[in-house]
Every structure is written in C-alpha cells, then in structure tokens.
C-alpha cells in the first residue's frame, strides 16, 4: 500500500512513535526512526523492524530540541514522503512553579520541531508530487488540564500549525492533519503517574482510574497500534481530501 514511500517518524525508539513506525513499515513504507540518542540498541531496533517487515528501516539520531538537528534529520533521510511529527515530552507543575528550562524544552520538542521538519520536508514532497504530514498532537491540543501549561500550549500550537500547513499545501497533492490521542499507556504516561500521585495524594491505581481514565469515557487506554492504524489511514487514498483537521483517538474524551 505504501511501498515506494519513505516515512520519517520523529521520536520513534519508544511508545507511540515506535507503534507508528511499525504500522508504516507493515504497510510497506521505508522508514526512518529517530531519537536524540545514538546507541547500538537504537540501530538494532531499526534492524529488527526491517527484518520483521521486509522494508528498509534506518535509525538517524537527531535532537528535536534543536532546529538545525530537525532540518538535518530530513536532509540525512534524503527523501520524505510521509512526515510524522511525534517527538514529545511532558512536565507536570503549577504555572508559578513551572521550571523555565522545562517550558522551553517542551515548546522546542513538542512544537518547534514540527515547524523545522515540515519546512525541510515540504520541498521534497512537492518535488515528489505527493506528501503526508501527520502531527501527533493530543486531546490536550483541544482541551486543557491543570499543571500542564507548556504541554497544553505546545499541543494547541501543533493543531494551529497543522491548519496552516494544510492551507499552504491545499493546492498540492499534500495533506497535513493532527491525530489527537487521549491516554495511551507509554513510558511518557508511566512517568506522569508518580507526579500525579503526589499532586492528588492518591495511589497508582486510583490515579489511573480517577485522574487519567476519568477523562476517557471508554474507561480504556488507547493503544499505539490504534495510533499507527490512524496514521496509515491518513496516508491512504481514502484520506486524500482530509486536510487541516484533527482526528481524536480518545475514547470520547473530547465529546464530554
């Protein structure tokens, strides 16, 4: 289905990015996976995906907090038909106590990286005559929660950037959309549980049930496979006229 296409997925040695990379590889795309580390296990992960799916998979290290690195990632890939902006971090604290370095890092990794990679990838998509930009935003791109000022601001920014990218490519065979997941049980969510336990004075199970999944009417986490499947759908012919919009995969969170 996607054979002959090259996909770049930022922040994809774990969690949702890895799930998306696997789904794109399974659909036949050549895939570039990425994170800021450059370890043997990162390259071994690429080799495993290539083996399992019979497609070329490369690991390219690049730090998505650095604009030049973002652009270099796309340049080093050499081709980009599908760009999935997924890299993201979280920090939970009240605005008055929010560390400035965390605010800057979240804005850089969760929002500005998508601007830099998109700027580098659009000329390649225009030259190839086809392109898909998929931004992994969040239910927090559409709604807010206390103590997540930087994350919510960045994700709302991603939704705005998605709309502008769609308008600037509307006459080209290129689309840009944002996927807005609710809670997906990945290392990023795992790492928030201790903070939330402290903030709310609750144990782990109660935080999961009453703080996290309380927002998700289905009462279930979304899965990385579901985010991968939604990405592949956005790359399909059926999605050709879907651009500049958001698709929520949130068990009903934003319907509340």
Residue 25: how many CA atoms within 13 Å on its side-chain side? 27
Residues 6+ apart with CB under 8 A from 64: 10, 11, 34, 36, 70, 73, 87, 108, 109, 113
Number of residues that bind ligand NAD (CB under 6 A): 28
Q: Using the rule CB under 6 A, which residue among 2, 5, 11, 132 binds ligand NAD?
A: 11
Least spacing, CB of residue 74 vs ligand NAD, in Å? 13
Query: Cα separation of 118 and 151, whole Å?
Result: 20
Is there a contact between 153 and 107 (Cβ–Cβ < 8 Å)? yes
Least spacing, CB of residue 183 vs ligand NAD, in Å? 4
Under the binding rule (CB under 6 A), the answer on residue 184 touching ligand NAD is: yes
Residue 37: how many CA atoms within 13 Å on its side-chain side? 11
Under the binding rule (CB under 6 A), the answer on residue 106 touching ligand NAD is: no
Question: Pattern of binders to ligand NAD over 65-94, x per CB under 6 A?
Answer: x--------------------xxxx-----
Under the binding rule (CB under 6 A), the answer on residue 251 touching ligand NAD is: no
Is there a contact between 172 and 242 (Cβ–Cβ < 8 Å)? no
- Residue 183 is among the residues annotated as catalytic for this protein: no
Under the binding rule (CB under 6 A), the answer on residue 136 touching ligand NAD is: yes
The residues that touch ligand NAD, with contacts defined as CB under 6 A, are: 11-17, 34-36, 63-65, 86-89, 109-110, 136, 138, 181, 183-184, 186-189
Active site residues: 151
């Amino acid at each position: 289905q996607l054979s002959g296409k090259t996909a770049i997925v930022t922040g994809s040695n774990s969690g949702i990015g890895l799930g998306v990379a696997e789904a794109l590889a399974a659909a036949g795309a050549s895939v570039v996976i990425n994170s800021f580390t450059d370890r043997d296990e990162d390259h071994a992960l690429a080799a495993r995906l290539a083996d399992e799916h019979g497609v070329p998979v490369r690991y390219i290290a690049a730090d998505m907090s650095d604009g030049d690195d973002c652009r270099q990632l796309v340049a080093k890939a050499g081709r980009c038909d599908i760009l999935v902006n997924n890299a993201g971090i979280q920090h939970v604290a009240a605005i008055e106590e929010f560390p400035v370095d965390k605010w800057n890092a979240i804005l850089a990794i969760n929002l500005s990286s998508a601007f830099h990679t998109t700027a580098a990838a659009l000329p390649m998509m225009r030259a190839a005559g086809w392109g898909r930009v998929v931004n992994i935003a969040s239910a927090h791109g559409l709604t807010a929660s206390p103590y997540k000022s930087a994350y919510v601001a960045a994700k709302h920014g991603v939704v705005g950037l998605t709309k502008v990218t769609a308008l600037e490519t509307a006459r080209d065979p290129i689309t840009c959309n944002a996927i807005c997941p609710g809670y997906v049980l990945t290392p990023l969510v795992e790492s928030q549980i201790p903070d939330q336990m402290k903030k709310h004075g609750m144990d782990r199970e109660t935080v999961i049930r009453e703080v996290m999944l309380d927002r998700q009417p289905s009462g279930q986490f979304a899965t990385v496979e579901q985010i991968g499947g939604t990405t592949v759908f956005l790359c399909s012919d059926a999605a050709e006229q879907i651009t500049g919009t958001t698709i929520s995969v949130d068990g009903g969170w934003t319907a509340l």
